[in-house]
Amino acid sequence: MSRKHFVSVVLTGVMALSTTFAIGMASQPKGDEEATLARIKPLARVEVAGGKAGAPAAGGRSGEELYKAVCMACHDAGVAGAPKIGDKAAWTARIGVGLDVLVKSARAGKNAMPPKGGSDASDEELTRVVAYMANKSGANFKLPAAGEKIASNERSGEQIAQAVCLKCHETGEKGAPKISDKAAWTQRASKGIDGMAQSVIRGHGNMPARGGLTDVSDAELKNAIAFLVKQVGSDIK
């Protein structure tokens, strides 16, 4: 049997099985249909790899490591409009805005890409992977090494607080603890700045994730929290 004939036979068989399955499903009562779908789910389900990249190693992952774990699923083939790595034409305009802007865009999410590409990347790791992809596509950004601190133009705590936080925390809107309520803030400050930052990053009560400011970095959030607590008069570490 020739290869072409073999492929034709296989495809015909697959189509026949699919048709039989569809007819069988249509004739089943709803309860049986749901049970069948539940049984085949582990085999029929398709997911894009790399939604979570696992726990970061000490010092953080390199740009290449995070790319292979998360970004490669879309940026290797240009899935859902993602600019393909190495496609200089697609990256030229993006590279032109600079590394800081590219990182903020990746942090917030853009078009079909969720925030941080759906990963648990730290700000340092995100900067590394953006620089890695851009440099493979024609840029010449300095590629931060694993464990290296990233120099950035981060906003002060007061700037973030004035732009976002005080809109609710001055008036107590939507249940936000008022700046004048020292007891409420003292209780929260007992978690430490890292604990409070995690609550803000995830969102808490009526407050959306990152206070609704999607491009704010983890460092900027901590600055804002420290500023707010200082206004209250509580101590935080």
pLDDT digits (tens, 9 = 90+) for 26-35: 444 545 545 5
User: Which ranges constitute the DSSP H helices of 45-115?
Assistant: 63-66, 72-75, 88-96, 99-108
The structure tokens listed for 209 are 């994730």
Contact 177, 169 (CB under 8 A): yes
Note the pLDDT tens digit of each residue in 96-154.
Answer: 878 888 888 899 888 899 999 999 988 889 999 999 999 999 988 876 665 565 555 56
pLDDT value, residue 8: 47
Contact 157, 147 (CB under 8 A): no
Query: What's the longest Cα–Cα distance across the chain?
Result: 84
- Domain positions in the chain are 3-44, 49-153, 157-232
The arithmetic mean of pLDDT across residues 179-208, rounded, is 85
CA neighbor of 115 nearest in space, from 237, 218, 222: 218
pLDDT value, residue 65: 93
The structure tokens listed for 230 are 């200082």
Query: Would you say how long the chain is, in residues?
Result: 237
Domains 49-153 and 157-232 fall in the same CATH topology: yes
Look up the CATH number of domain 49-153.
Answer: 1.10.760.10
Q: Taken in order 194, 149, 86, 56, is the CA torsion positive or negative?
A: negative
The pTM of the full predicted model, rounded to 2 decimals, is 0.47
Q: In whole angstroms, what separates CA 84 from the centre of its chain?
A: 19
The helix/strand/coil state of 113 is strand
119 DSSP assignment: S
Q: Please name the fold of domain 157-232.
A: Cytochrome Bc1 Complex; Chain D, domain 2 (1.10.760)
